[in-house]
Structure 1
Amino acid sequence: PLSLHCSLCSVVSSSGQMLGQGLGAQIDRSPCIWRMNSAPTRGFENDVGHKTTLRVVSHTSVPLILQKPQYFFGQSNDTVYVVWGPLRNMRKDGNGIVYNMLKRAAENYPQAQIYVTTEERMNYCDMVFKKETGKDR
């Protein structure tokens, strides 16, 4: 299980609304900085900062991240990755396409910290989403 304790977090969206805001330095002062999917920081540091503590990644964004594995999993990167997705993609029995991609990435970048959500946690998140929005994902 992932154990991460922060006194303050900045959650940085991948939205273009961040551009032009000049909040990078303020974001980087946070002890923990969460980012979403494959949103880049390089070239946008003035607006979004450069530090990343935790990156939450949808199963659909894993291929995008794996297009630039050195950028996301390189030696100087101490980011923790939490990947979520439906069981059909995250199966650990050899049939989970996304899980298999992540397994290869972890083999190629042994220092990478990659976590995947459990089926129970995904079911819980799906239930919360439906309760909040009235829609199934």
Structure 2
Amino acid sequence: MEAARRRVHRILALANAQALRQACAAICDATPAAMLRGPETGMVMARGRIGGSGAAFNIGDVSLTRASVRLANGAIGHAAHLGRDAGRVRLAAIVDALWQDPERRREIEDRIVAPLERFVEARDAKLGGEVAATKVDFFTLVRGED
């Protein structure tokens, strides 16, 4: 269950704001949610590693917005995203809370999570193709005078 919820959080975080709004407009707009926290924006330190495995170093501060909501059935949803889009974070928190209801999970997966996952995969594939097209292969030519 925790791995599945982490997957949903990942998809909600990777989807852009417009795709998230389109995917959950009908469901989230019709779901009353009480704000427990925020949305509030603050700064966090982004860290990186050279080559993905080197020693960690600080890249710099980035803004992060987080929110927590409670639905009428008592489910609590949380979300946090880089940036300052409070509306996006609120929608993601509502989706998280709705997803936790076993009776609505299939609907949320089919109508919100699956379309967003397809969007993220398509965007990543397109970006991967664009990056691959700019790859430079360096090689050494053997000179014939040796």
Q: Which protein is bigger by CA-based radius of gyration?
A: 2
From the two aligned structures, give the one with the greater helix fraction: 2
Bigger RCO of structures 1 and 2 (CA < 8 A, at least 6 apart): 2
What is the TM-score normalised by the length of structure 1?
0.24
